[in-house]
Structure 1
Amino acid sequence: MGNKGGKNKPTAGSGSGSTKPVVIPPKNPELTEADYGFLTAQTGLSRAEIKNVFDQFMANNPDAKLDRKEFVRLYDLLRPEPPELMDEISEFVFRAFDSDKNGFINFNEFMIAYALTSRGDPKKKLEYAFTLYDADNNGTLDMAEVRSVLVGMLDLLGADKKNTNVAQLTEECCRELDTSRDGKITKDEFVNGLLRNYSLRALMSPFN
């Protein structure tokens, strides 16, 4: 941003294939310290600039939902690459995370999409991604939360979900990550498991 990629910094005012899609619940439309830390590191923007972007987003989207046009605008704004390089991928990412195909995604889905498709330190990305996946904020991931990640990632990667057993894939991922075998995946298990297993990391965080 700014002098990265030729963009201007923002200014004020500016089972199988038959399984049902999993909708990631909206988060409270406030940026957390984790959000600020991740976004400042990924974009090179200051905290004040990130807040300005978010304030603009909320002014345009008081319901914390983005349509395709607003998603592409915000996604392109936060990415360091020139907009002409990002337009196609931003459209593709939107389609992947519009899980119920209603033409909108919520802010939490946007943050997950941005985190997964940004480049950066793998461990920090995975630590942040965990906080986003943990929809009920209980410090662990259950099978439903892992499945919601996989459904979005399969769409993002253009996989043929009709020939992919999502339930089986979810079970295999949980089995690989849940090293304590207690039915829950902690942040350490999630991060260390994905750092250890390249194939699984490529599936759940493909833009390393």
Structure 2
Amino acid sequence: MKKIALFVSIVMFTLTGFAQNSGKAKSLLDEVYNKVKSYDNIYVDFKYVLENKKESIHQETRGNVTIAGDKYLFNYLGATKMFDGQKIYTVIPENEEVVIESKDAEEEGTITPSKMLTFYRDGYRYAWDAAKNVKGRQIQYVKLTPIDSNSETQTILLGIDAQTKHIYNLIETGKNGTETTITVNSFKTNQPLSKSLFTFNEAKYEDEGYYIIKN
């Protein structure tokens, strides 16, 4: 009976610790979310690294995104993707084409540019993870585990600057062994934006000979 009582005590202690860690993680993520939502707009310049050692794959590139509410302007891999609140416009200079789609064209659950700083709000379990000192900045990691067992993602480590409550980096590990790391190089808020920043000029691209695809 004593062994059973000891076992129960250990289990309860473990569960209590897990609940506290989960609560701490959620509390920090709530702070990050509230900070992000308090800004009129956000500009992020980032480094993107994809690596799969088993397949000998290593890719590095940079990109940037400007976010204002649900609207965004996303520059990545030589293409530009913009959402004006109603339609998504993808400009691909290499192919000289523009793809215009409705908002509903994006798959449910997809991390869109407008959600890249708030995606963690739904669909994940939270756990408090390691803290690291990165060039004098204290980065606290929170581990996210998808609730959906069919997700291709195994875990996501979200690094958060403990002082600013801004996201510093994201490390996603896929079930296929691929690790994707996005590191924020520059994070600017409440910048003066052109009124036409999220306005698509279809005539401009038609004059330049782009092929316009409307889905």
The bucket for the TM-score relative to the shorter chain is: under 0.3
Higher strand share: 2
- Structure with the greater alpha carbon radius of gyration: 2
Q: Normalization by structure 2: what TM-score?
A: 0.22
* TM-score, length of structure 1 as denominator length: 0.22
